[in-house]
Chain A
Amino acid sequence: MIGWIADSLDSRLHLAKFFKRAMNHVFPDHWSFMLGEIALYSFVILVITGIYLALFFNASSAQVIYHGSYRALDGMKMSAAYRSGLHLSFDVPAGLLIRQMHHWAADIFLAAIVAHVARIFFTAAYRRPREINWVIGLTLLLLALANGFFGYSLLDDLLSGAGLRIGYAILLSTPVIGPWMAFKVFGGTVPVSATIPHMYDMHIFVIPILITVLLAAHLAIIWRQLHTNYPGPRRTEKTIVGSRLWPSYTAKSLGLFFLVFALVAMLGGLVQIDPIWIYGPDNPVAIAPGAQPDWYLGWVEGAMRLFPGVNLRLGHWLVPEVFFPALLFPALVFIALYAWPWVEKAFSFDDKPHNVLRLPYQQPFITSLGCGFFVFLLVLLFAGGDDVVAVATGSSVVLIRTILRILVFVAPAVTFALVYLLCRRMQRRRMTSTALVAPEDVDSNKAVVTRTE
């Protein structure tokens, strides 16, 4: 049967040569190469679950009265979108499971991308020839962040309503064209009847299509350039060591897909996420204290809270308070990330192609810089929930905020120093134990090869 299909396809498409080569493609075995795969597979899961959810979601802000099976909200006025979310959660068999799986998959998608970017950064895999994929990957991260925000806001519950207003205010604070942009994206001053259809279109068409296209390019480039390798025996700039695509890598990677899917299903079934019926429908009069965005936007929220109120006018123009922490700051973070491969080049004077990775300890400055940056983001993420912390510890928000304003600079600096010392120490140890010359100066993989021979 398979033979017959293969025959008939090959006789029309000349596939044998390509597939023979493809099957012999070599993929490295190190676990850290799975992070990107996890991101890829959670995107597949997002698409699968999302298609199912779209069959039930009603992207309309028309006001309706609820009479579904969740009695606590019976007779309440709400948008049709929120009602369809309740209907899906309570009246569609397995509906809640799929909805929670979708939300968990989104969280795993973003976590995997962040971990993947970190892996690339700490092993210097962004060097020539892989700068294009670094840029595409960061764009994918931005798109994923935006789509997470839209998906979260679509359900039109009280909690996401606050997030939606803040998102609108941030876009509104864009220099000069802010009002125009915010109106085009959200359909007017939120919430208006066009807001949910606009976000729905972005969430299910525009951004997923962009992600799919960029993902395809990302993978095609990897296919062309081959993966990097950690330093080790026989791993040189001109070779790659690992498993062949067929059969062992196919089996392993496909297995990983099912395992990620299983994790998502387990979380979706067993661990509650985004219980919209507890928050209630969005309502301009009601308030949601203690509201936090999803974790991947928490660092922006934290920056908004820690950044001091600056009342600034540039001649005719008012600079809104949210501009600095919520628009300029994230923009600078991403500009720095985008520019990083070229910044590194400018300082290392090294624009040669690199296929063997640097281990984190072999680049003490870059590693400690990255760790410091991560701690910086973590403090901001923590600051995004400072009111919750204040309530939990019984102290005032003002006090917590003051402490965090100090910590946001001190903690990264301390991290930087500690990691730097640790890397140096590891370098010295390796030097003495293997009697190699300073790893920075010598192509590390060469050194390893000489040792094995």
Chain B
Amino acid sequence: MKQDDKSSGGLSEQRAGAVSASSSAPTQPAKGSSEKQQVRTAAVLLVSAAMGWVALKSIGKDFLKSLLERSTTVPVDEVSELSHEETRSEDRNTVPKDREEDRKEVRDEDREKEVDLARRERWGTLFVSFAFAVSIAAGFGFLFIYWSGGNNLLLGGMLALCLAGIGSALVLWAHWLTRHKQATEKREELASPPAERKAFVREYEAGVRDVHRRGLLKWFGVAAAGMLASMVISLIRSLSSAPGDALYTTVWKRGQRLMTEDGKPITVQSLQPESTITVFPENSIGSEKSQTVLIRVREDLLQLPKDRVNWAPKGYLAFSRVCTHAGCPVGLYQSENHLLLCPCHQSTFNVLQAAVPTGGPATRSLPQLPLYVDSDGTLRASGGFSEPPGPGFWGMP
């Protein structure tokens, strides 16, 4: 099983600590990390140091050079006062011939004031390398934290720092180290020229005529494709049973005892007036659809319709616990108003009047379960719910 805890006790304890940390504040690493872990930490440190040294050595020379020397690789241009037509013609003279075609399509505009290009290059190199350095350092931090237990809070911070370093390096690079120019591209006409369209239509229709000549074959082909599609679509049938009776019925039947969630039968002594409990049919405890709220009220308060006066012996009322509005469990009972309240959309049902809706978006009463008391004083259902339980659907009676 995935959930089997194979790690040592100390380790999982520390991870639990780490997790709870992410919700509030960083906690101290758990005490008593094993020797194995210390060895691992040391190894990670060693490898990190070695990698860092290699990395620094390989980039260090260029890095230092770029910081110390004034870069002279990019010529310092004069401020371009040329109008853009002239710029273009100048461009055309300088670019190689094979790029000329492209230059017609896409032109550079807004030649920047490039007097300070060298300075920009120096600072840009500094910024970008700093951002990359932060990223590299955070990457080492992440690895170190991950291998030594893995506090989610710190891991997230290190990952964010690492990614932000790379991201800002790239953006800084684009802003400081590329010759940032605005380019203008010509849009091509999206509609095809009439000649192209005509050529296409001609060829297509030639093919269609070919198909038409074999009319019967065409219809065979269509029929075969249709059959293939209906075969594939019919597989949807297997995704569930048909809704059929499932929406109309529950397990409640005449004679079924009312059981608590723990499997204890309800008797007439189980509830005091104005108290409530959730009950299930005896053979399907925990069933979502058959869940029933049992409420005991004072018998003289009852205002049930005439055909239901026998449904509530000793003031015991039972209703479907699934809201008729959107299917949430109607779990709250306000005993002073005799109201059942659905926590999802605040529909209220008056239990004294057979759970008619009195507020909120629900418009249909909670289905009532008729009850009787047998000779031992045990509460039993004297039938199924008065209506199908659960949220409404178009075919609902």
Contact = CB atoms under 8 A, between A and B. Distances in A.
Interface residues of A, number: 118
B184 A291 contact: no
Interface string B135-169: 00000000000100110111111011111101111
Interface stretch (B9-17, B204-212, B218-226, B295-303): B9-17
A26 B331 CA distance: 60
B393 A184 contact: no
A68 B5 CA distance: 7
A20 B100 CA distance: 12
B278 interface: yes
Nearest to B392: A320
A251 B178 contact: yes
Contacts of A286: 329, 331
Contacts of A64: 3
Interface string B374-396: 00000000000000001111111
B361 A96 contact: no
A194 interface: yes
Interface stretch (A2-10, A140-148, A256-264): A256-264
Contact of B152 (A269, A287, A311): A269
A256 to B, nearest CB: 7
Interface stretch (A110-118, A166-174, A342-350): A166-174
Contacts of A84: 2-3
Contact of A165 (B2, B187, B328): B328
Nearest to B148: A93
Interface in B165-193: 166-175, 178, 180-187, 190
Nearest to B150: A93
Contacts of B327: 165-166, 168-169, 190
Contacts of A291: 343-344
Interface string A278-302: 0000001111111100000000000
B185 A24 contact: yes
Interface stretch (A238-246, A373-381, A424-432): A238-246
A317 B343 CA distance: 28
A32 interface: no
A363 B381 CA distance: 66
Given A251-B178, A284-B329, A83 B185 contact: no
A96 B185 contact: no
Most buried by B among A87, A97, A180, A291: A97
Contact of B239 (A94, A198, A310, A386): A198
B325 interface: yes
Contacts of B363: 309-311, 321
Interface in A2-59: 20-21, 24-26, 29, 56, 58
Nearest to B167: A258
Nearest to A269: B156
Contacts of B169: 255
Interface stretch (B48-56, B60-68, B286-294): B286-294
Interface in B73-124: 84, 102, 105-106, 109
A52 to B, nearest CB: 13
Most buried by A among B16, B109, B163, B242: B163
Interface in A180-194: 180, 182-184, 186-191, 194
A226 B186 CA distance: 10
Contact of A353 (B190, B391, B397): B190
B328 A166 contact: yes
B321 to A, nearest CB: 8
A318 B393 contact: yes
B357 A187 contact: no
Nearest to B106: A24
A399 interface: no
B160 A266 contact: yes
A185 B239 CA distance: 8
B240 interface: yes
A69 B5 contact: yes
A106 B175 CA distance: 30
Contacts of A266: 156-157, 160, 164
A398 B341 CA distance: 13
A242 B190 contact: no
A94 B332 CA distance: 39
B23 interface: yes
A261 B291 contact: no
B3 A239 contact: no
B163 A91 contact: no
A191 B329 CA distance: 13
Contacts of A368: none
Contacts of A247: 174, 178
Contacts of B168: 255, 259
B282 to A, nearest CB: 16
A395 interface: no
A187 B239 contact: yes
Interface string A182-223: 111011111100100010000000000000000000000000
27 contacts: A96-B22, A101-B156, A169-B391, A174-B394, A175-B394, A182-B393, A183-B241, A234-B84, A240-B187, A252-B174, A254-B170, A255-B171, A255-B172, A255-B174, A258-B170, A260-B167, A261-B163, A265-B159, A269-B154, A270-B22, A272-B22, A284-B286, A308-B361, A309-B325, A319-B394, A322-B391, A353-B190
8 closest residue pairs by CB, A with B: A269-B156, A258-B167, A320-B392, A255-B170, A93-B150, A287-B331, A169-B391, A311-B363
